[in-house]
Amino acid sequence: MKLKKNMVDDIINIVKNNIIENSLAKKGDKVVVAVSGGPDSMCLLDSLYKIKDELSFSIVVAHVNHGIRKESDDEKKYVEDFCKKRDISFHYLKVNVPELSKKEKMSEETYGRKVRYEFFETVRKEENADSIAVAHNLNDNVETVLLNLIRGSGLKGLTGMDFRYNNIIRPLLTIEKKDILMYNDILELNPCIDKTNEEEIYLRNKVRLKLIPYLQELNPNFITNINRMRNILKQDNDFIEEYVDNIFNKIIIKDDDNGIIFNFSNFMGEHDSIKSRVIRKVVEKKISNLDGIENIHIMDIIKLLDNNIKGKKYIIGNKFTIEVLKKNIAVIY
């Protein structure tokens, strides 16, 4: 029994240390906990509930019924009952993802994720909360690294997920799935099991169910080794991003509703890796994201700036235009 208690205490301490060391929640914060009712999210909810008073933050719960599985109503009741017993505010959304995803011409997986995160953000604003806690764990991070590798990602993609991304925090990110399952078993949380996670429908499921087990046959320490690689790459990427940020802060001449004017002579002598990152940062600053911006677009912009001809433009649909105003000076609008 002592061994089991130690196991639970160990996981709670890891969650607590992750929060403290990565500044995920500070005194007085309110955290929206995204809870599906599955093992990962129940471990997250239960551990946060156990440490919230010690760390002086509060929690509310957000749960989404995607209208895909008949078990969804039971999962809603399970999470709601858990919250009622502990006096935790419970927010609920039911949406017909299969129907709406067809109208939006998106996959159920993509549309479901969009609906979830929009709802979590809505709850965060309604509750005047500071962050949204999601239950991504170490195995999820390894899956993300492998998926990005398969898709041909750059360095950033191979670093996987961070403890924090904007308003999203991930307190379980260093904990293995097997330990989360044990946590649930020891405390008899009896989480809901989503059987679609065992279906080889989505690419992520195929990576989880086929690729990772095969790689673990080749090397039982595969999960640990990938995480070690991820940490090394993250150090390198953090250094490069800091270097790029310093350049970016020096090149901006004017930034208002009419566009961003910048001096590109300050970075065109840099390595191609740095040039492309600075340009991506300029584009992201203007349009808020890099959706649909591919490497070929960045290379074309570098050519435009290299030629340095007044009046020449590079236009990407209705996203943005980059124009050379005069020698070494350009604007994005």
Q: Show Cβ contacts of residue 173 under 8 Å, excluding neighbours closer than 6 positions.
A: 18, 136, 137, 138, 141, 161, 163
251 within 8 A of 259, measured Cβ to Cβ: no
Q: Which of 218, 235, 259 is the last residue of a domain?
A: 218
Tokens 């700036």 sit on residue: 305
- Per-residue b/e over 69-101, b at no fewer than 16 CB within 10 Å? eebbeebbebbbebbeeeebebbebebebeebb
pLDDT at 201: 72
What count of other Cβ atoms lies within 10 Å of the Cβ of residue 330? 25
β-sheet bridge partners, residue 34: 62
Q: How many domains in the chain?
A: 2
Do 214 and 250 belong together in one domain?
no
Q: Residue 26 carries which DSSP code? A: -
Average pLDDT of span 289-317: 93
Provide the mean pLDDT of the chain: 94
Q: Is residue 184 part of a domain?
A: yes
- pLDDT digits over 24-48, tens only? 999 999 999 999 999 999 999 999 9
Of 218, 236, 263, which marks where a domain is finished?
218
* CATH assignment at residue 249: 3.30.465
Residue 294 — very low, low, confident or very high, per pLDDT cuts 50/70/90? confident
> How many CA atoms within 13 Å lie on the side-chain side of 227?
14
Percentage of residues in the chain having pLDDT higher than 90: 82
In this prediction the pTM is: 0.84
pLDDT of residue 3: 57
Choose the weakest-confidence range: 167-176, 178-187, 283-292: 283-292
Are 151 and 279 within one domain? no
Domain limits for position 249: 245-332
The pLDDT score that the predictor gives to residue 1 is 52
**Phi first, then psi: what are they for 134, rounded to 5°?**
-120, 160
Average pLDDT of the residues in 86-100: 94
